[in-house]
Amino acid sequence: MLASEAQPGVGCRVMSQGFLPFLQRWVVTTLAVLVAAQMVKGIHYDTTATVLVASLLLGFLNAFVRPILLLLSLPLLLASLGLFIVVINALLLLFVGEIVKGFTVAGFWPAVWGSVVISLVSMVMNLLLGRGPRIEVRRGGRPPRDDDPPPGGGGPVIDV
């Protein structure tokens, strides 16, 4: 398709569908980091720009590095019944504190408590924004199976 044949506004819609969820995740992470910095002694930031950069880096690490770390530490995750995820999150937060100048994480335990606060605040905000896991409660019979007949007849359909 040539550029002259493109529909007006289609490129903007595609970009906005990818950009808006990214922006929403970034804002949620930034607010969660701000809350953690206020609640946990040992997590400090100098400027708002520092928090923005730190939360952007934390989001990048959570999206790309964390899945690899989870896979590599799978035996520890299973042995600890998933509690080792807190350690992974704390290590990522410590790493962000080492890289971003003006954002400080004073040690392992502030990183652990900070990662717990960030996780809880992010979970609550994502649930409020409708981005969290969806829970559906169904009452009634058993769930449908693949071999169940379609509702309203169940016989073959002949379309003339």
Q: Is residue 158 part of a domain?
A: no
In terms of C-beta density within 10 A (0-12 exposed, 13-18 middle, 19 or more buried), how is residue 123 classed?
Answer: middle
Q: Is residue 42 part of a domain?
A: yes
Task: Kindly report each contact of residues 74-77 with a partner whose C-beta sits within 8 Å and lies 24 or more positions away, as own/partner.
Answer: none
Q: Is residue 145 part of a domain?
A: no
**pLDDT at residue 1, as a whole number:** 46
User: pLDDT tens string for the chain (160 positions)?
Assistant: 444 455 555 555 555 677 888 899 999 999 999 999 999 999 999 999 999 999 999 999 999 999 999 999 999 999 999 999 999 999 999 999 999 999 999 999 999 999 999 999 999 999 998 876 666 777 776 666 777 666 666 566 666 6
> Dmax of the chain from CA atoms?
75
The pTM (predicted TM-score) of the whole model is: 0.73
What's the domain range around 78?
A: 16-128
CB 119 within 8 A of CB 82: no
Alpha carbon of 53 to those of 45, 57, 60, 89, 133: distances in Å? 11, 6, 11, 17, 27
Q: Is residue 91 part of a domain?
A: yes
Q: Is residue 142 part of a domain?
A: no
Q: Is residue 104 part of a domain?
A: yes
Q: Is residue 87 part of a domain?
A: yes
| Count: domains in the chain | 1
Q: Is residue 157 part of a domain?
A: no
